[in-house]
Chains A and B, each alone.
Chain A
């Protein structure tokens, strides 16, 4: 038996999720594996529909009833995949918490924020109403909501987007979870607020020794906030490794494309943004080989035959590509920037 100190907190092995969409069954996630120790942070990057949110929701056990999960998700060695909902309820908001993308709609407009922050405390810790209220005020204070003792009885519509996101963070942290999943926590916010919220999340993760999975389509956010990163495309992980290592030497043509497509400060006016040509493939209609094949500048016949295997290109740095010899010769990443 492994030493509990080094044993991963969460261990995902060959996770697959099939969803029933209006266009038929879709393999939204396939062959995703990773492990996260206590206190470690992991970033998930990719475009909309690449399977990053579905991966997060499967960790939370919040996929639609019709979704079919294969593979394994273990929390401290306990299998979570296909766990009955009643058992999952005692973990959610307690040991695993999630912050969602849209603070404007993630709070119930009919309840006060105090009620909503107190809810997980009352449910998991069985606090009395008064105790939960005191704790909720302390939490709202910790996340930087001004005048929490008074504002606790206000309704969500009386707060700004950034303040609401602080409230959802307080909610997610109420029971001091071991794992925090933040799904695009700043995408819906003003740029000026984004940094504050990310700093707050980073401070809290550090302070409480939580593990975090941060989901974003923004490479900048990932670069600054997580130790390790995984790039997803078409439901699979196409590149994964320590954040510094991946940014130093990007291996997958898709990661490189994402990197090149970021807007650059100081670019001459009228310069067009670089794009990745083509569109994300329909998950209901994925190609047999590499999911990125249709859009890849380096595509060859062998890419279309079967899903490429993971190739190790550096310390703990793996890339799902058969053409890394060519792609990595270009030295895309911090080296070339």
Chain B
């Protein structure tokens, strides 16, 4: 087990190094000089050159890369070209929204998807299965921003239970923050839950066809007992894989919903920074996302080994 985890940690670090090199090179190759952008098109050549030196953009590629990596280690990511504030705190401000939002939508996704997926598999080809599966088909087809607007119309405009947008922050306790993230997380969760429910259903159906299910029934276990004690654990591997992908997507791919609800999340920060050529922010945000995706995958891999005893001896 420990060898397995160690091996995965080494792979994780290697992946992060690889990702950092690619991110650095790609963003460096991007056309447009950050100093020129910041000074405006009318700036004199001398002024631009001075700023270039000040930002350290005149240094060789390798030196700048190593400085960036050193920044990670000592916790200094540099200052935003545009805002002049430290990139670290800029990102941290967004993460206090993005991470709780991702966790909340993932929780809603998992609860909805597992119950729908297990229910439909247990009632395969019956009316309930067809009904719930039709709903998931609609769920997949829904654009989440449109669904978000419907939720706003119902819960914010008509019922006035929740606010239509903005983020309350965590200063006044947990509830106001959670409340302001409720509609966004539901909007994000609905489409994901529809997909995950279908994955869960087919995974459970596949396991139900296995020989050991018949063996368990031959021991005298009822259908329900077999489902809970023999089928679900076997069906969890594909379900968790998709859950990992979805969670990673929630961390980075929520910009549309952030815009609908006026939420200052990570997605918006990246979008604005790209528009402003605030490359130092873009680079660190992208690196952060890469790290989060790699870590989510790592966690999923370790969970596989907890669920499936066969994985401990095999190398992933």
List CB contacts (< 8 Å) of A308-324 with chain B.
Answer: none
Over the window 168-180 of chain A, the binary record of Cβ atoms lying under 8 Å from chain B Cβ atoms (1 yes, 0 no) is 1001100000000
Please give, as numbers and ranges, the residues of chain A lying within 8 Å of B215 by CB-CB distance: 100, 106-108, 168, 171
Q: How many residues of A are counted as interface, with CB atoms below 8 angstroms from the partner's CB atoms?
A: 30
Nearest residue, chain B, Cβ from A95:
B220
A109 with B310: CB separation less than 8 A: yes
Set B216, B218, B230: member contacting A60, Cβ < 8 A: B218
Q: How many residues of B are counted as interface, with CB atoms below 8 angstroms from the partner's CB atoms?
A: 20
B212 part of interface (Cβ distance < 8 Å)? yes
List CB contacts (< 8 Å) of B204-258 with chain A.
Answer: 210-212, 214-223, 230, 233-234
Known: A102-B211, A105-B210, A155-B309. A110 touches B234 (CB 8 A): yes
List CB contacts (< 8 Å) of A110-138 with chain B.
Answer: 110-111, 119-120, 123-124
A89 with B308: CB separation less than 8 A: no
**In the complex, what distance in Å separates the CA atom of A54 from the CA atom of B233?**
29
CB distance from A261 to the nearest CB of B (A): 28
A120 with B214: CB separation less than 8 A: no
A90 part of interface (Cβ distance < 8 Å)? yes
A120 with B217: CB separation less than 8 A: no
Known: A110-B233, A110-B234. A98 touches B218 (CB 8 A): yes
Nearest residue, chain A, Cβ from B234:
A110
Nearest residue, chain A, Cβ from B307:
A110
Over the window 74-103 of chain A, the binary record of Cβ atoms lying under 8 Å from chain B Cβ atoms (1 yes, 0 no) is 000000000001100111111001101010
A109 with B234: CB separation less than 8 A: yes
Over the window 143-171 of chain A, the binary record of Cβ atoms lying under 8 Å from chain B Cβ atoms (1 yes, 0 no) is 00000000000010100000000001001
Please give, as numbers and ranges, the residues of chain A lying within 8 Å of B308 by CB-CB distance: 109-110
Over the window 34-67 of chain A, the binary record of Cβ atoms lying under 8 Å from chain B Cβ atoms (1 yes, 0 no) is 0000000000000000000000000010100000
A-B residue pairs, 10 tightest by C-beta = A93-B219, A93-B220, A105-B211, A92-B220, A108-B212, A120-B219, A155-B309, A106-B215, A110-B233, A98-B218
Q: Which A residues fall within an 8 A CB radius of B?
A: 60, 62, 85-86, 89-94, 97-98, 100, 102, 105-111, 119-120, 123-124, 155, 157, 168, 171-172
